[in-house]
Structure 1
Amino acid sequence: MAQPASNSKGGAKVPRKTISKPVNFLFGGLSGMGATAITQPLDLVKNRMQMSGLGGAAREHKSTIHATIKVARSEGVLALYTGLSAGLMRQATYTTLRLGIFSSLMDMCSNDGQPPRFIVKAGLATVSGAIASFIATPTELSLIRMTSDGRLPVDQRRGYKHVFDALYRIGKEEGVLTLWTGYRPTVVRAMVVNAAQLASYFQAKQFLLSTDYFEDNLFAHFVASMISGFVTTTISLPVDITKTRIQNMKIIDGKPEYSGAIDVFTKTVRQEGVFSLWKGFTPYYARIGPHTVFTFIFLEQLRKLYWRHYS
């Protein structure tokens, strides 16, 4: 991403070199994978809570803590890391692409090291999210199924060994196109998440650094990340719930459980109430917040190392 312009002795702005596109993509993937390795249990709990109450059944989990304890007791503590391989694979594809494309587009739209306006940031984030999410939908589907498997009756569990086993079996047993089940809400969610997360993070960081209270350090990155995480959670959670339920739906009497995103949305509201669209808000924010923090902290530190040694 473009860095702020430095000043020469004569006062003229001299923009620094931009980070090469391959390095942008590499840093994006490494940042996302590092964050996922830390926050995977929160993603599993979030998915379990979103599936709770499905089909009008009684809620399985009363709270985030209740869900975490129940999973640990019934399936073992290590079960909280179920689907880690899918989570890492998703970051290696989705986050590599979304941050890499966004960083490259930001470089193209920056003027002498000065970042573009907020509306431009949001547009660039939307485009990068749409492209990345479509390509990475199979890993997203694998992650949803693997983290939801433990809540099913034993005879109905899919029992994927790892992400490659999931991808292979889904393609072989259900058809290759099944790997893109729910791609529409997945793409929509990614567009919403990226527009909210990336644009709000860089806008919040830009604002914080313009005040007298913040410097470009870990604390500023942390505050900007938490602001971004809250905005992203509030806006994107209803879309995320819709996506999760579509990707985990069953085939009943030869027909899919849902006909599409609108069907999921209306059935959820009718059977469980409007506020069920924000079910799992705490674990979702608990995941989005730290994941956003770790992703951007890792990204910022990798960029600083790059500038220190290669600028």
Structure 2
Amino acid sequence: MAGEPNDQTPIPPAKKATIPAHMKAMSGSLGGIMEACCLQPIDVIKTRLQLDRTGAYRGIVHCGSTVCQTEGVRALWKGLTPFATHLTLKYSLRMGTNAVLQSAFKDSQTGQLSNRGRLLSGFGAGVLEALVIVTPFEVVKIRLQQQKGLSPELLKYKGPVHCARLIIREEGILGLWAGAAPTVMRNGTNQAAMFTAKNAFDVFLWKKHEGDGKVLQPWQSMISGFLAGTAGPICTGPFDVVKTRLMAQSREAGHAKYNGMVHAIKTIYAEEGLLALWKGLIPRLMRIPPGQAIMWAVADQVIGLYERRFLPNAPL
């Protein structure tokens, strides 16, 4: 009959609205605060394992217990201030930049974003966050985390501000950007994979499309975020190890063991073997996927609140 839908006629998708970049940025910053407080001990253990060249730690549990016995439980939260600040700023910049780039890559006629556009948006967001925020904050964090001992007067760096000032005085302003190249490669690749995978898991598992007004439950966001955060650490392990080694070494004596990313990879492979390039992988997998789960659980709720209040036809 005329006017009745034909089974062969495709049903046009519901019109999707664009979430403002500032809302994405705010949701990311709130998620970053929660992630930092929950997962800082895993990050400290990861850093200590990556810097261990003598086999002092026999694994994750032994490393954590050794740190607690020799330096106190609070040592597992060393570097929390720069880590929390860094995560808050990083996620804010990452989510906001990704939203802006996705808008630029959307098809002008259909408003759809291709997988290629999503990958490029994520990579661009990762590169920018690596250069502007991640590298200097992680240099300070790693220098604080590698210090061993209980007596503050015996520690070279007394805190994040003192650490940053000392690095600048001894090594110049560029000392805060040690390890920038592997950080750019790591973060760009990670975010390209993460944003693409998160969207794919949301669609596949929950039939959730961005801007459609549907709000995921926190546990659904955590599952999607956890799964999306697993591939990056495996693919970018060597970049993360090299980044940590380059950031940890001090140049005030005029000599550095590693002269750059490629030289560091070759040296680690020659001296410690291939698997050394994936040192700290298990604690990275213990930190990054749960971290993404926590971050997305918070971020999706903030974005969902906006969708419920301001998007037309959003379910209440």
TM-score above 0.5, yes or no: yes
Contact 1:125 1:195 in 2 (8 A): yes
What is the identity, as a one-letter code, of the residue corresponding to 1:271? E
| Partner of residue 291, structure 1 | 291
| Bigger radius of gyration among the two | 2
1:141 to 139, 142, 146: 139
- What is the distance in 1 between the residues matched to 2:261 and 2:155? 24
1:304 and 2:304 correspond = yes
- What is the distance in 2 between the residues matched to 1:187 and 1:129? 7
In the TM superposition, residue 81 of structure 1 has moved relative to its aligned partner by 0.5
Number of residues of Structure 1 aligned to a counterpart in Structure 2? 293
- What is the distance in 2 between the residues matched to 1:249 and 1:80? 21
| Partner of residue 3, structure 1 | none
What is the identity, as a one-letter code, of the residue corresponding to 2:89? T
Q: Secondary structure at 1:297's aligned position in 2? A: helix
| Partner of residue 189, structure 1 | 186
CA deviations 1:22-50 (Å, max 9, x no partner) are 22222222212221111111111101100
Q: 1:251 to 1:169 in 2, by over 3 A?
A: closer
- Name the stretch that deviates more: 44-53 or 90-99: 90-99
Q: 1:131 to 1:177 in 2, by over 3 A?
A: same
Matching of residues 1-311 of structure 1 within 5 Å:
15-53=15-53, 58-110=54-106, 116-136=113-133, 137-150=135-148, 157-161=155-159, 163-210=160-207, 216-251=216-251, 254-311=254-311
- Name the stretch that deviates more: 44-53 or 173-182: 173-182
What is the identity, as a one-letter code, of the residue corresponding to 2:222? F
Q: Secondary structure at 2:56's aligned position in 1? A: coil
- Name the stretch that deviates more: 115-124 or 83-92: 115-124
In structure 1, list runs of 5 or more residues that go unmatched: 1-10
- What is the distance in 1 between the residues matched to 2:273 and 2:149? 22
Runs of 4+ in 1 over 4 A off after TM superposition: 11-14, 110-115, 151-156
Contact 1:106 1:115 in 2 (8 A): no
In structure 2, list runs of 5 or more residues that go unmatched: 1-10, 209-214, 312-316
What is the identity, as a one-letter code, of the residue corresponding to 2:192? A
What is the TM-score with the length of structure 1 in the denominator? 0.85
In the TM superposition, residue 165 of structure 1 has moved relative to its aligned partner by 2.9
Q: 1:67 to 1:251 in 2, by over 3 A?
A: same
Q: 1:152 to 1:76 in 2, by over 3 A?
A: closer
Contact 1:197 1:228 in 2 (8 A): yes
RMSD of aligned alpha carbons: 2.6
Q: Secondary structure at 2:236's aligned position in 1? A: helix
Q: Secondary structure at 1:150's aligned position in 2? A: coil
What is the TM-score with the length of structure 2 in the denominator? 0.84
Contact 2:24 2:299 in 1 (8 A): no
CA deviations 1:53-76 (Å, max 9, x no partner) are 1xxxx2121111111111111110
Contact 1:24 1:104 in 2 (8 A): no
Q: 1:13 to 1:227 in 2, by over 3 A?
A: closer
